[in-house]
Amino acid sequence: MLSNRKAQLLKSRTTLLRVSIRKSKLRFIVLCLLFIGLFFKRREIPTAIVYTLTPEQVYVNSSPEQVLRVLREKRFSSRADLREPLVEVRSFKTFLTPNPNFTYDAPIYILHKVLGRWTYSRVFREINKEISSLDDYSVFNIKKFKECLFEPIVYSLLFSRQASTIDLITTQSSFFKIPSAFKSANASKKIMAWYSTNSKPIYASDDLLRKRIDVNAFKDYVNEHWVWNEEEVVFLESHGLKNVISTGAVVFQDRDIVEKNLNKFVITYFDVTPVQGSGGFYSENNTSLVLTSILQLVDSINSKYEGKTEVRMKPKRKYSKIHSKVYTSEISRLLRSQKIIVLPASANLYKTISQSDLVLAIPFTSPALLAKELNVDSLFVSIGIEGWDIPRSSDGIPVITQFEELLNHVEGEIESKFNL
């Protein structure tokens, strides 16, 4: 009995020591951050903070300068103060190619470059108080500490400094986990920009539940939504979201419009590159079926309209190890055969689409809608896909389910362009 009590006492003391060491580590990290912050030059409070743009959106498909130009377009800047936004991007390129409007981490940027040094004692007191109040048996790590304790205190201090006019913007990438600033900040506006148009679910034919998208994770923290068009407005309003605004295409690239080739009928297919072993509507099987129908189209029109057509494909993303080997091998074969031109994944959407006479896309991806906005003919293609309830059209763009229907449409457009 005595030995058991000693063992329990030793275990309790060991636990308390371990917790004490963890808390001391957290305090040390905070002190280091505050010490580093003493040496940074202060900047003005940003007019807006933008979250959850991906490295691909900013540094691969675009550039920081292009992103800023898009944000400052009147359709956005009339709804939020985007004169001097702070844009958080989780990429080390924010360090390698520094831009004063871009940062790897918004809360640390605010601590180091916006909050006055005189606030640091208060920052430490409040964080230390929260650390001390942690339960001895709480499971906490640096990431959880940053999200649950550090960030709310930093944002609370920021928004107490006549900063209630700061607008907060996130994207639908934060669908399930809204940035902490949205929960703690008394911001002027809290906006979600819906840069993708395929949030509307496509249901399997045997899916009897037909679940709606779950907006509960962000519904109470966002007071304005930016979407592409009125059909997207109706869709989100049907899920109980309010203040949904149609702004036009939410694409973070320059509006690079070019002339069409008068001597060629240019078809551009925008694929969705499947992940290895993926299921759902954008599975390896379904995307491969659509690609097969595009190749069949190439063979048909090349033999009938030799020299008058050009078929291109723009991958949604740069191919990587996670993508279907079967699918990417087929693309490699196409490159070698020169049957089809494969554009870089980073190609400017406006330029690519404005060059095209016809845009083809898998339901219900964004390029077809951007084509419609630019007055370029567009179609959704689902040829060969079975077992899914796909609407016959979306946003006024037809869904093509039969190859003959696709071929007849393309032939009619080619003959119309060249008066054949």
Q: How much is the average pLDDT of 8-23?
A: 66
Percent of the chain with pLDDT over 70: 94
User: What CATH topology corresponds to 265-417?
Assistant: Rossmann fold (3.40.50)
Please report, as a single letter, which amino acid is at residue 305: Y
Instruction: Examine the pLDDT at 7 and tell me if it is beyond 70.
Output: no
- What is the spatial distance between Cα 10 and Cα 18, in angstroms, rounded to a whole number? 12
Q: Which tokens go with 324?
A: 């279907």
Same topology between domain 48-246 and domain 265-417: yes
Predicted local confidence at residue 275, as pLDDT: 86
Q: How much is the average pLDDT of 132-149?
A: 77
Question: Is 226 in contact with 247 (CB distance < 8 Å)?
Answer: yes
User: Strand pairing partners for 226?
Assistant: 193, 245
Predicted local confidence at residue 11, as pLDDT: 55
What residue segments make up the domains of the chain, in order of their start? 48-246, 265-417
Helix pair 325-337, 284-304: axis angle to 10 deg? 20
Global pTM reads 0.90
The whole-chain average pLDDT of the chain stands at 90
Predicted local confidence at residue 133, as pLDDT: 82
pLDDT digits (tens, 9 = 90+) for 157-170: 998 875 568 999 99
Q: Specify the DSSP class assigned to residue 190.
A: E
Instruction: Examine the pLDDT at 176 and tell me if it is beyond 50.
Output: yes
If one compares 234 and 207, the residue with the highest pLDDT of the two is 234
Query: Which CATH code fits 48-246?
Result: 3.40.50
Question: Is 228 in contact with 188 (CB distance < 8 Å)?
Answer: no
> Position of tokens 């148009």?
197
Kindly provide the residue ranges of all beta strands, DSSP E only, lying in 11-125, ordered along the sequence: 48-53, 85-89, 102-103
